[in-house]
Structure formats: C-alpha cells, structure tokens
Structure 1
C-alpha cells in the first residue's frame, strides 16, 4: 500500500460518520424550522418553571410557642453539611488525648404517648421505640452538630456503632435486661475510634472502627440516652399511608463505669443537649440523670442522626409532570407528522439507512429536550428554593454535587422520555395512540404511586418496574437504614437509587427504539 492512500475500511468509517452527522444536521434543521415544535419545547420549560414556582409560593411554614408566633428552629448542620438531629441527655467528663470508656448497661425502659382516646386525658404507655439509644459517646463538644463516635444498645436493633449522624454499623442483635446486660466500650487512639461489645465484660467483640479527622485533643466523653418519637403509620382510606410521630422517652441504667486516659476529675457534668425551652425559660420534655454510687440512671428524648424534616430541593420541580407531557407530545409529533403529511418518503430518500435516520431523530430530540430541561430545572431550583425560604420553609441542605445531579438528572429524565416517546411514535405511526401510550407508561404510574391512591407495596413496585422509575433521579435526600422514617413514594422516596431508576427508563427507551428501528426497516414508508 502506497503512502497517502486510504483503506476502504477507513473510508467506510469516515463516510458513516459523515453520513450520520449530515442526518443529524438535517433533522435539527427540520426541527428548528417547525415553529410549533420549538414553541412546544419552550412551553415545556416554561410550564415546568411556572408551576414549580407557583407551588413554592403557596408553601408557608410558621411556628409558635403557645399563643406567640416565633421563628421556626433551624436544625444544626453535621460535619458534612447535612441537617442533623442532635438532641440527647449527656453525662460527661473532659478527655485529653487518647483514652476510652467502658460501661455495663443493665436496663432500658421508656414511655410512649399515644393518641388520646378521651379529649384532655393523656394516654401514656410503657415502651421503648425501636431506635431508642443508650450507650457511650466521645464528642468534640456539647455543641449541636459537632462530630462524634458512639457505641450503643438500641430498643430493637441490637448494638450499633454510629458516628457523625449518618453512619451506622451493626453489632450483635438483642436487647438488654438485668439478666442479659450489655457491656460497651469506646476507645480513642489519635483520630481512630474503636467500639466494642461484650456479654460478660471479659470477652470483647469489635463492633467497628472509624476515623474522625480534625478532632481536637480535648473532647467530651461519657454516657448518653436518647429516644426519637414513636412513628405510627396507618393505611389511608383511599390507599397510601398516614404517618404520625408522638413523644417518647427512654431511661437506661449504667454501672461498672470505667474511664481510661487523662479525664477531668470531680463531679460529672450534665447537659440536656438540644432541649427545647418554653417562653418562661423552662425545658420542654427535659431529660435527666441520677447517680447512686457507681450507678447512673439517665433519661433522654430526641435523637442523634440525620434530620429529614423540611423541604427538599426537588419540591421545586412540581411542574415536572406537566412539562413532561408537553415533551412527549412534541417528541411524538417529530416522527408522526412526517407520516401524516407523507414526507417520510422524502426523509428516507435523503437517508436510505432507516436505522440511522431514526437514530438521528433520537439524537436531535434528546439534545433539544435536555437543553430545555436543564434550563427549566436550574431556574426552578434556584428561584424556588429562595421563595420557599422567604416563606419560612426550611430547605434541607445538600452538596453541590447532589444539586447538580438533581438538575442534570431532571434534564436527562426528560430527554430519555422524549426518545421513548419518539420510538412509540415510530411504532404506532399515529400521534394519539403514541402519546397515550407514553403518558400511560411514564406519567400515570408516577401519579398513582405518589398520590396516596395505592397501597405502599404496589406503589413501590410500580416505581421499580415501569418507566416511571426514572423519577428517582430527582431524590436528593437518601433513605437511612438507622432512622425510623416513612420512606414511601408519597413522601418523595423512591424504591430504587437515583441512577438505578434512570437506568430503568433508559432500558425502556432503548428497547422501544430497537423495536422501532426493526419495524422501520421491515415496513414500507
């Protein structure tokens, strides 16, 4: 082969690339010259933004103490910038440098307030909620949101090691009683914290080891008890669930308390971390502790963990369904209009490779939709969150990466849905059945799953198995395994992870496009 010659194989590749690029340019020219399609995409973006901002404008939050309206409390932020709950009763001493604490927990009891059956008569029953916690903790300070590591026994989830609010490691299952006490130990060595458990105080099992970088040499070390509220979930009259949280407190008994390292002497310090005060300065549902010799009885309320009470950034995307419907209509018309007007033959003369022609249409409609969706989502989130905050709503903070994923993911959701609708248009060759099918497969399952119409299990399966799974890409606040929450679609939680949900929608779009190409090649125009 002489220098400067081109092999036929390379020529075919270049011709294929050039041919595909020409098809994409032709389809883009066709799209932008049809005013209705361009205005449709603009309308999809506008309706998404306007409905989102309208919803944000109608959302107001206010708080009061008795008859007096006060500013709503803002949750503390944890070490990673997330909103956290940091409310518990703390019996502690100062620790300088390395050291540790060992205790035996011999009892955990509590009380739960249930719904009153008789007006004015409080109904309180004995009981411990599943995630009530009692154990040992090393914490940077008594400031809410400061870093910590803790080993604890829980109401129904055995021994756990938790740190910095969102991290949880399971130990051995089982509860605690005088006949079956649980020994707990937490040791600091530099930035490394190791938790242990034992049934007899002699044979120890490591629960977990974590690293907390940046903690000062002087920290607080001691005992704690906390009890989140009792969550009652009932079935609604028309499907879905109704969740109600009620007050609960826990009381734990500790003995055999041993400290290692340089700790402060004298009496133990006691702090009711995060306690709510009334207008007269008194504490609302305070905790407390009693000491008799080496035996401590500690009562606490609240929780140490992530806080999910507030608005999430995806609440500003309430116009998504309306915008998606407009996108579906435009995407379907992008192919069916050519059949209706008899222009498909001209299109195929310009690009006889039918699969490439359909692929070029898919590239154009996906790109246009992605740009429109990206602009709409960015505007809705940026402006909508400001409106929510101005109306007294607390917007749960997320990382910049999560916000980018929600915004770009929403745009990708619309783009993939547009390709899916285009493929249905090519399969049906008529607008009405293609639009109906796309809405029935993407929009309707989402409405049914999130509108408290179906039982929770059915709603979750709909969002696993249908193209509506793609909406999971919008979820910004994750589901935590160590928090008793109402993690259901009606509350904005999806059964699949964000990218997994979008992958389901992509799978449907790829399948529909493949079938459309197969049929496109085998049928006359």
Structure 2
C-alpha cells in the first residue's frame, strides 16, 4: 500500500502526466460529440425522423421483417400442418458485364408455417420452415434459431396459449418436435399461415487494394404447399414491403404473391425474417471516434511514467527506498492502469449517451443495443484504455527509452486495428490480426452480435470481430502481463 500511495503521488504531482490523462478523456468526449453534431440524416425534403429504418423486434433489436405471408386469423389454440411439395428460386449473380439470373436458392431462403402477432413488421412470431441449404429449422422472434430433421418436408405448428411448438416429418407419420417456444404477451387472436422469404445474395470478393468488396443482389423463392390442414379463405400480405427502398430492377422484375389451384398454394417472396446488421444503420460505437486519439495520449503518458525516471536517474532513488524491484514495477503498473481506467470510464460513460442524444435529436437513426451491451462497451472501452496503458508502461520498463517504447506500443495496439478495419488487408489476414495481437481487445466495442442464420460476411471492417468481447480483452491482458513479467525479470537482473 505504501508503494501504491508513493506512485500515485508521483503521478498526480507531475502536471504533464495528469494533464495527459484529462486530455485523453476530453478527446473522447469532444470528438464524440463533434462527430454527432457533424451528421444529419435527410430523405429528400424530409428530415431523418421520416427516413425509412429497420423495424424493432420484440426484444428491442433492429430487425429485417419482409416476406410473403398467406394467412388467416386464429383465435385461441390451434394447429396447422402442410407439406412443402416444391421449393425453387432465382438468384442474381454478378458477371463482369451485367447481372445474370439463374435458377437456385440462396442457403437461407425460407418457406414454411408461421404464427405471428399481426402483420406489423417487427411483431412477435414463431415459425417452422425448410431452407435452401440448412435443412429444417424452428425460428422465433428474429434472433432464435434451432435445427430440425434435415430432409423433412412435412411441417406442423401448434399453438397452446403463449406456447408454440414446431414439428417436422419426412412422411407425415413419424413427427419430430424441433422446439417449444414461448411468446410472452401473444394476443388471443393471431395470424397463422404460410410464408416465403429469400434474403439477398451476398457476395464478397477481394478488393484490388486489399480488403473485400461486399455486394447484395436480389433473389426470389417460390414454394408450393399442399396437404394444408387449415380451411377457409386466405389473405395475402407482402409484410414489410417498402417500394421506395427498392431498386428499379426489383420493382419491375419480382412477382411476389400467391396462387391456389387444386388444393395447392404457390407462394412467391423475397426479403428475410432475421436480425438486422450494420447494413441497417450506424451503432452507438460511432460516437467513440476519439478513442484512437485518446489511446495515443495514454500510450505516451504510460511510457513516460517509467522512462522519465530512468532518463533522470530517479529510478535509483526509488529502488533504494523500496528495494523490492518487482513490487515497485507492479505498483507503478497498477497506478497508471487504475488512473487511466477511471479517466476512460468517466469519458465513455458521458460520451455515449450524450453523443447518442445529439445524433437522434438531429434526425439520425441509431441501431438500438441492449442496456447490457451499452454498459459492456462503456466499461470495456475503459478497460481497453487501462490495459493499453499497462502494456505501454511495461514496454517502457523493458526498453527504458521513451520514443522506441511509444512506437512499439502503437505498433502493437493501434496499427493492427487500423489495418484490420480500413479495408487494407484481406479479410482472413484482418481477422488473424484481431485474434493474436493486442488489438483483439477492440472486440469489446462490437455492438451487434453475429448470427449464423444470417448469410453475410462478418468482417472487422463492418464492426464484427473474430473473438468474443471479453476474450479480446483477455488477449490484450495476456500481452500486458507477459511483457510486465519480462520487465520485472530484467529489472531484477540488470542495474538501474
């Protein structure tokens, strides 16, 4: 405790070091708010509040909810059974000169049975379905996905109060229950029926100057249902259709809808029922524009916190007063890390809600994130700053020279992040950097999860990282601990 008080006294007594920490916090806040004031969304003559944006799902997340829905009301409990007799589609591919339309289904094309709380986009639902390449599934409320029998084409959906059960069968004799889910608040009367959706054909290719070029092209799927157990009249809705957001090609070539003949219902549709990703709009992490600049300041302060003592010869006095060299180095690391953490926590805790408020007030749409995710980004960003400070300090303790230590710390933390997120490197190389270098800690800022049931490339350029958030921080922590341990060993063996 005496060592910690002594090192804290040194830190707060040095005006430049304390000013640096305050400056780092001010940079995060200032650049975040400045970035927010610099963005205004408009659609023609309408301000951002009137611009189309993804609907919100039952859990508050942004979702895609666009599909062909052939339905009828169901009051109370009930069951619907149907056979998917045929499932075909068209896919748009990108040849060199023009788009080429070929027959086929994208892997996550969907056709099946669905229970939904009305036809409003984003409303609660549960579905059992067949896919283009992922077998039979049970999906509900956009984010949840559970696999069923791969070859089954007979589907059944049963409602009992708020509980929905999905079944699949290959022969309509032996049925497998895929999953039982609960939809809280499901009303007495819901819409039940058949649906078809076909997500965009997302392609990614290496860019001429590094990175990847991602494109999404129109697709369409058609399913033929027979042996449908439900009787009565059907209503067709193209849920979530927004012609204003369609390309001319989509408006004049697609043929969404349904027909019925001889007990067979043919449904054609496009779109998807799934969580929205970064394509739906910016996330709150956009407001952390000043973090890189703050990291530069923190690195310099942390390095000087140790190298200044070596440069001025004061380290001899410190070690004479406190002869346990290892404890001295770890105490200094703890103090600089804790000080940076507090400064970073205050800065991020103020910046994210304040800048987010400014963005929304200026008519901008931000993809919603759960409160837990927001807290993780706030606290995690502060931990990222603190661990970077300890890493830079440890490098300074090893090299004992300021300029090389600052350069090496920047090379270890900031450079890999910039290379991975600015389309300089191929995706594979970018993901490798974000796994093994200290820059892996930036994963703590990922605002949206990656979903396996959404067919899109999840790359660092788009804000998706290969490691879970806290695992990324552990990579940085391991680097900092290893270099600090090496610094302790060197200090014990070498003269100050």
Give the TM-score range, shorter chain. over 0.9
Call closer, same or farther: CA 1:62–1:245 in 2, change over 3 Å.
farther
CA distance in 2, matches of 1:53, 1:316: 7
Match of 1:71 in 2: 50
CA distance in 2, matches of 1:26, 1:311: 45
Once the two structures are superposed, residues 392-418 of structure 1 have per-residue CA deviations (whole angstroms, 9 ceiling, x without a partner) of 432110111111110111000000110
Q: Does 1:162 align with 2:139?
A: yes
From 89, 94, 101, give the equivalent of 2:68: 89
Is the radius of gyration larger for structure 1 or structure 2?
A: 1
Match of 1:288 in 2: 257
Contact 1:286 1:301 in 2 (8 A): no
Runs of 5+ unmatched residues, structure 1: 1-20, 175-180, 260-264
Q: Does 1:298 align with 2:277?
A: no
Q: Does 1:322 align with 2:293?
A: yes
Once the two structures are superposed, residues 114-156 of structure 1 have per-residue CA deviations (whole angstroms, 9 ceiling, x without a partner) of 45866xx875333322211100011122222111110111112
1:49-64 → structure 2 map (5 Å cutoff): 49-63=29-43
Instruction: Report the secondary structure of 1:74's partner residue.
Output: coil
Match of 2:432 in 1: 461
CA distance in 1, matches of 2:89, 2:78: 31
Shift of 1:361: 0.9
After alignment, is 144-153 or 352-361 more displaced?
352-361
Q: Does 1:128 align with 2:94?
A: no
Shift of 1:57: 3.9
Contact 1:89 1:300 in 2 (8 A): yes
Normalised by the size of structure 1, how large is the TM-score?
Answer: 0.88
Normalised by the size of structure 2, how large is the TM-score?
Answer: 0.93
Instruction: Report how many aligned residue pairs link the two structures.
Output: 489
Once the two structures are superposed, residues 15-64 of structure 1 have per-residue CA deviations (whole angstroms, 9 ceiling, x without a partner) of xxxxxx12111111110111110111122122223333344444444445
Call closer, same or farther: CA 1:502–1:187 in 2, change over 3 Å.
same
CA distance in 2, matches of 1:101, 1:329: 66
CA distance in 2, matches of 1:335, 1:213: 57
Contact 1:64 1:70 in 2 (8 A): no
CA distance in 2, matches of 1:278, 1:461: 40
CA distance in 2, matches of 1:488, 1:441: 20
From 325, 328, 338, give the equivalent of 2:309: 338
Contact 2:43 2:51 in 1 (8 A): yes
CA distance in 2, matches of 1:139, 1:350: 73
1:333-482 → structure 2 map (5 Å cutoff): 333-482=304-453
Once the two structures are superposed, residues 443-502 of structure 1 have per-residue CA deviations (whole angstroms, 9 ceiling, x without a partner) of 111111111111111110110011110010011100011011231011111000101111
Shift of 1:191: 2.8
CA distance in 2, matches of 1:368, 1:122: 57
Match of 2:240 in 1: 274
